[in-house]
Amino acid sequence: MLTVAETDLDLFFGSESERMDADVPWPYSGLIYRVKSGDWSVEFVVSPSYRSVKLVLGTRGRVVYELDAQRIADLKIHEGPSHPTLEIEVGRDQGIFLRLQPELFLGQKVDSA
């Protein structure tokens, strides 16, 4: 099970999620977030009980980045000095970082030591 709370994800994305299964409670139902950040569209799907996420970034109707990750280690929200960052902890010492404000940022950390 992932440790992030549904309310924390709602705050990060600035909206309530759409449930994949309306009658199934968190964390057993998948959640879908769709937001805009400038010219960018962001779709984020999380299934906490399966430890899976999907992240799709697009602009001008084209997909430019897609992540489909299964059995992730965790999801974390890091509070920054001005805006939060979502970390998709893919594995030990590997993470994908997403920030929506003040502009879209996507980064990756890999420590193969």
* Across 63-67, 90-94, 104-108, least confident range: 90-94
Q: Pick the residue with more confidence: 26 or 78? A: 78
Cβ neighbours of residue 54 closer than 8 Å, sequence gap 6 or more: 43, 44, 45, 66, 67, 68, 69
Tens of pLDDT, residue by residue over 18-71, are 998 888 888 888 999 999 988 999 999 999 999 999 999 999 999 999 999 999
The pairs formed by 105-109 with CB atoms below 8 angstroms and a separation of 24 or more are 106/57, 106/65
Query: pLDDT band at residue 99, thresholds of 50, 70 and 90?
Result: very high
pTM: 0.92
What burial letters (b/e) apply to 1-27, b meaning 16+ CB within 10 Å?
A: ebebebeebeebbeeebeeeeeeeebb
Q: What is the pLDDT of residue 6?
A: 92
Q: What is the pLDDT of residue 81?
A: 87
* Closest of 46, 41, 42 to residue 6, by C-alpha: 46
Three-state DSSP class for 106? strand
Phi, psi at 7, each rounded to 5°? -65, -35
H or E element, residue 13 = helix 6-13
Q: What is the pLDDT of residue 7?
A: 94
Q: How would you classify the pairing of strands 105-110 and 85-91? A: unpaired
pLDDT at 113 exceeding the cut of 70: no
